[in-house]
Amino acid sequence: MIALAAVLIGLVVLVWSADRFVSGAAATAWHFNVPPLLIGMVIIGFGTSAPEMVVSAIASSQGNPGLALGNAYGSNITNIALILGVTALLSPLAVHSQILRKELPVLLAVTALAAWQVADGVITHVEAFVLLGVFVLLMSWTIYQGLRGPADTLATEVRAEHESAENMALGRALFWLFFGLVLLVAASRLLVWGAVLIAQSLGVSDLVIGLTIVAVGTSLPELASSVIAARKGESDIALGNVIGSNLFNTLAVVGIAGGIAEITVPPEVLGRDVLSMGALALLLCVMGYRRRGQGRINRVEGALLILCFVAYTCWVLLTSAA
pLDDT by residue (tens digit) across 266-319? 988 999 999 999 999 999 888 877 655 566 788 899 999 999 999 999 999 888
The mean pLDDT of the chain is 81
b (16+ CB within 10 A) / e for 61-85: ebebbbbbbbbbbbbbbbbbbbbbb
Q: What is the pLDDT of residue 32?
A: 75
Confidence at 129, pLDDT banded by 50, 70, 90: very high
Tell which residue, 73, 45, 70, has the closest CA to residue 59: 70
Whether residue 118 contacts residue 274, with contact meaning beta carbons closer than 8 Å, is answered with yes
Distance separating alpha carbons of residues 165 and 233, to the nearest angstrom: 20
Give the CATH number, domain containing residue 101. Answer: 1.20.1420.30
For the chain, what is the domain count?
A: 1
Q: Which domain holds residue 10?
A: 2-321
Whether residue 120 contacts residue 269, with contact meaning beta carbons closer than 8 Å, is answered with no
Q: Is the pLDDT of residue 182 over 90?
A: no
Phi, psi (rounded to 5 degrees) for 297: -105, 110
Q: Is the pLDDT of residue 41 over 70?
A: no
Q: Is the pLDDT of residue 120 over 90?
A: yes
